[in-house]
């Protein structure tokens, strides 16, 4: 008698594109210009990316910055599926010395503020000279933690989104655009 469980059918959520690849490309170039202007006199810029969602945004934004910089990543996690767990785990802290440096944190999305607040508190303890933030998306929702982004790519409505690095259960990061996920559990 075979006790192997039956395979469940693979169902995909419905995706509704809300920001095109061309719009992302234009806005990332604009952000790059702003950042270059704002850090024109800076001789020790450190970019800290919050992984994994920021990876596409990070790479494209770095290509717009025509200056020497140092790069590191932190890995923080607070989502399971389409819902926040309510707590943030710092899976990989900063590994380079940022004391006295100008630090720009790159993240994919600002929604509850919990992840970015946890990362900023971690980095502030390392005593950088300045600490600013750049997010691809800022969700128009009340924040659970007090945090604002210095640079924002796009403001979006309260919807769960994927693509351009953002995922739904580790899927859809590869999409070159941003799409809203339309499922029963995506909120």
Residue 120 lies in a domain: yes
Give the per-residue pLDDT at 77.
Answer: 72
pLDDT tens-digit readout, 14-26: 999 999 999 999 9
184 counts as catalytic = no
Give the per-residue pLDDT at 83.
Answer: 52
Q: Which residues span the domain enclosing 50?
A: 22-32+42-159
Structure token pair of residue 84: 């926040």
Among the listed residues 27, 17, 50, the one whose alpha carbon sits nearest the alpha carbon of residue 161: 17
Question: In whole angstroms, what is the distance from residue 121 CA to residue 135 CA?
Answer: 17
Instruction: State pTM to two decimals.
Output: 0.85
Residue 182 lies in a domain: no
Structure token pair of residue 7: 């395979």
Question: In whole angstroms, what is the distance from residue 53 CA to residue 107 CA?
Answer: 7
User: What b/e readout covers 23-44, taking b as 16+ CB neighbours within 10 angstroms?
Assistant: ebeebbeebbeebeeebeebee
CA quadruple 108, 111, 114, 116: dihedral sign: positive
Residue 10 lies in a domain: no
pLDDT tens-digit readout, 40-93: 989 889 999 998 889 999 999 999 998 899 999 998 876 555 555 566 666 677
Residue 50 lies in a domain: yes
Give the per-residue pLDDT at 7.
Answer: 44
Per the structure, the count of domains in the chain is: 1
Give the per-residue pLDDT at 78.
Answer: 64
Catalytic residue among 60, 107, 108, 111: 111
Looking at the chain, the whole-number percentage of residues with pLDDT higher than 90 is 71
């Amino acid at each position: 008698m075979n006790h192997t469980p039956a395979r469940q059918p693979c169902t995909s959520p419905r995706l509704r594109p809300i920001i095109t690849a061309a719009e992302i490309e234009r806005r990332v170039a604009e952000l790059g210009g702003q950042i270059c202007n704002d850090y024109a006199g800076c001789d020790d810029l450190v970019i800290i990316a919050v992984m994994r969602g920021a990876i596409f945004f990070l790479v494209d934004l770095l290509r717009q910055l025509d200056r020497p910089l140092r790069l590191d990543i932190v890995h923080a996690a607070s989502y399971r599926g389409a819902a926040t767990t309510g707590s943030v785990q710092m899976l990989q802290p900063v590994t380079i010395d940022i004391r006295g440096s100008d630090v720009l944190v790159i993240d994919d999305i600002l929604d509850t503020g919990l992840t970015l607040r946890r990362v900023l508190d971690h980095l502030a303890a390392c005593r950088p000279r300045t600490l600013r933030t750049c997010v691809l998306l800022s969700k128009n929702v009340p924040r659970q933690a007090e945090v604002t982004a210095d640079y924002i790519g796009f403001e979006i409505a309260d919807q769960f989104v994927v693509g351009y690095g953002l995922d739904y259960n580790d899927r859809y990061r590869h999409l070159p655009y941003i799409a809203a996920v339309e499922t029963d559990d995506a909120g």
